[in-house]
Amino acid sequence: KKKKVDTDGIEDDCSSVP
């Protein structure tokens, strides 16, 4: 799974990203 950096700078799972 790829990890995306949230606007807060926290690494979130792509599945959790809307």
pLDDT tens figures, 1-18: 566 666 666 666 666 556
**For position 9, what pLDDT does the model report?**
64
**For position 7, what pLDDT does the model report?**
64
**For position 5, what pLDDT does the model report?**
66
Q: How far is residue 18's CA from residue 16's CA, in Å, rounded to a whole number? A: 6
Rounded to two decimals, the pTM is: 0.05
- Measured CA to CA in angstroms, residue 1 lies from 7, 16, 18 at distances of 19, 11, 15
Q: How far is residue 1's CA from residue 5's CA, in Å, rounded to a whole number? A: 13
